Structure 1
Amino acid sequence: MIEAASAADAAAVVALWRDCGLTRPWNDPHADFALALGTATSTVLVARAGADVTGSAMVGFDGHRGWVYYLAVAPDRQRGGLGRALMAAAEAWLRARGVPKVQLMVREGNAAALGFYEALGLERQPVVVFGRFLEGDEGR
Structure 2
Amino acid sequence: MNNSILKSADLKQTKKRTIIITILENAAAPLTAEEIMELSSKELKMSFSTVYRALNALADKNIVTKTVYQDGKLYYKIHTHSHQHILKCTKCNECIPIDSCPLESLEANLCSETNYKITGHNLEFFGVCPKCQKKES
TM-score class normalised by the smaller sequence: under 0.3
Q: In terms of Rg, which structure is larger?
A: 2
TM-score by length of 2: 0.27
TM-score, normalised by the number of residues in structure 1: 0.26
Structure ranking higher in strand proportion: 1
